[in-house]
Structure 1
């Protein structure tokens, strides 16, 4: 599969992705399920919308439409079948939950048929499309700007999870002012720019995982002041511009794991006062430029499985003192599986501040835990500045 292709770093990351600690991950949003006493929609007839199932809440009459597509190899027949199903809903203008999956598809470019004549006709509140092939015909646009034409005011949840990379129209999200949860997986930023997020003024949860992003730009998340959770995991990220997350003041969870970032640039994590978890583990981080002084004493900074060798005072002292001297501080710096030198660079930690416990799971390259480093040895071999 195309999404499993890429450099060595990504292949390695995929092997260990399932070992992420669930307790350190924000609650993943999902679509609501039909009530237990849901009724089968009396119209359209169930046989006319196969392979879709239509259920309704008997009190609110909200519609739950689930489609398990099984498209074959004849593209023309597939298009007719897809259009016919939606045409059966000729008296509907609202669908509360629309879930589609395409596990049994062959060469059907699902994303190319979401337009004003199909999904764009309805006011949809929750929309899921997963396990589908992306359009390969360059004359057919992936996810047109009219895919959610009538859902501009209604859509609250949107989830795309394709088999291969996708490059949706840059305006597909424009005007979705009430969207609060967005999971847009498999994005390919190499051949096209990311869709604009600037109009998503009420967005709370954003996941851009399993894509091909390479560089995260400083203007990508501007305007998302209410965003609380941001996940950019396993997306081949190798560079994050300084100021990328600046002023995301409501952000509590930020995860950029299983990528290929080597350098954390100065000012990358500035002005994030609500942040409780910063997870940048499972990268290739060797250097943190500047310092981390702006990070809160209550932030769990997860840097496991990287290539950090030295804990330079100029980088780490400000945050260490915050955690050490703030009463009931919840913050910690997790350095599990980093090849720390534990030389004179840690003297300020061991001798002066006696703060080794702030650096959770920190172990020297020789196998010794940081908390066991002898302060007497450091005082003897490491002259004062």
Structure 2
């Protein structure tokens, strides 16, 4: 069996889980800033590859190969010795439990990794033995259930849990508060049917897109005040409940794209964040109307992306209060804008016009920036 490619190992050791999941999966990163971040991360991975171009499966600190087969342990030499245990070839739950219950010379691992495994359906309580981990990556597999206390050995050590592209229906949500250093949680592309209770003082990045749980309750994030990034793309969300996202002082990104939204009601996105920049992404819905004060509390450099929706008008009473503050920019590309007198207030004000995406067009394809102000001054 050929060794795990070094690039894959570097991915699982990276701070972000983008390399393992979202960069290869179905989620679409819609804004340039996020694309730039992904590009920077890939460059960092390349730098790591050059730095760690010598890696081996030494017996120490890893367990003996014969003891853990078909799992494999890899040591990456850097500032410290990071142990990654890869159990992608495990054949059953019983086999995994037997391997991990063995006596290891050292039980402190960096990463537990499984990819493209169709044998493991349940991650059982006690199946990871006495080992502790900083990161879990189980991706592109057939995992359905993570039992209560299956990850308990890493309550104090784990910082990232990525369980993407599986068939997970059951996850120990009630234990989140026990993971006292958890920063990143991704269950992207699973089959979670109802929105889970979230209680965590440390969780910063949450990726739940491509799960069919639909509605998000108003209390969804009240117990996770440290959240910086929330990805709820493609969850079949029918509406936004006002107040749901109002108690997140560190919020920088909220993705609600590719859902079933038709209207953004008053108070829907009251964002009171101390972050220096905020991105609210509602791309690829069916939004045809936005209420006055639908977006409120914005005090930072905020981008509101409403690209690829069904907006026909840019109502002055809705958008002027936001644009006048000078803290909001709008992406209205790919909307059937009529571009009549309703938009004159924008066309006749170069400051406002500069705050709307340059590629925004009217329904006939003409760019807003190319519209003649004289026509609007004369007829509106």
- Alpha-carbon distance, 1:20 to partner: 3.3
Give the distance between the partners of 2:73 and 2:367, measured in 1 at CA. 59
- Please tell me whether residue 312 in structure 1 is matched to residue 310 in structure 2: no
Give the distance between the partners of 2:165 and 2:103, measured in 1 at CA. 26
Give the distance between the partners of 2:56 and 2:331, measured in 1 at CA. 47
1:99 maps to which of 108, 113, 118: 113
Contact 2:82/2:109, CA 8 A, preserved across alignment: yes
- Structure 2 residue matching 1:132: 3-state secondary structure: coil
Contact 1:120/1:146, CA 8 A, preserved across alignment: no
- Alpha-carbon distance, 1:187 to partner: 4.6
- Please tell me whether residue 50 in structure 1 is matched to residue 64 in structure 2: no
Could you state the TM-score of these two structures normalised by the residue count of structure 1? 0.78
Partner of 2:87 in structure 1?
67
Closer, same or farther: CA 15–97 of 1 in aligned 2, 3 Å: closer
Gaps of 5+ in 1: 1-13, 72-77, 136-141, 324-328
Closer, same or farther: CA 25–210 of 1 in aligned 2, 3 Å: farther
Equivalent residue pairs, number: 343
Which aligned segments of 4 or more residues in structure 1 are displaced greater than 6 angstroms?
A: 28-34
Partner of 1:332 in structure 2?
329
- Alpha-carbon distance, 1:40 to partner: 2.2
* TM alignment of 1:70-219, pairs within 5 A: 71=91, 78-89=92-103, 92-101=106-115, 103-105=116-118, 108-110=119-121, 112-115=122-125, 117-119=126-128, 121-135=130-144, 142-190=145-193, 192-194=194-196, 196-198=197-199, 200-219=200-219
- Alpha-carbon distance, 1:96 to partner: 2.2
1:23 maps to which of 15, 21, 33: 33
- Alpha-carbon distance, 1:23 to partner: 3.0
Give the distance between the partners of 2:130 and 2:37, measured in 1 at CA. 31
Could you state the TM-score of these two structures normalised by the residue count of structure 2? 0.79
Q: Write the deviation string for residues 133-186 of structure 1: whole angstroms up to 9, x where unpaired.
A: 144xxxxxx211111112111111111113335232332424112101111223
Give the distance between the partners of 2:129 and 2:180, measured in 1 at CA. 16
Q: Write the deviation string for residues 49-71 of structure 1: whole angstroms up to 9, x where unpaired.
A: 22211134678555321122263
- Structure 2 residue matching 1:345: 3-state secondary structure: helix
Give the distance between the partners of 2:73 and 2:347, measured in 1 at CA. 64
Q: Write the deviation string for residues 319-373 of structure 1: whole angstroms up to 9, x where unpaired.
A: 11122xxxxx6x4211110011111211222236763232212211122222333
Gaps of 5+ in 2: 1-23
Closer, same or farther: CA 247–118 of 1 in aligned 2, 3 Å: same
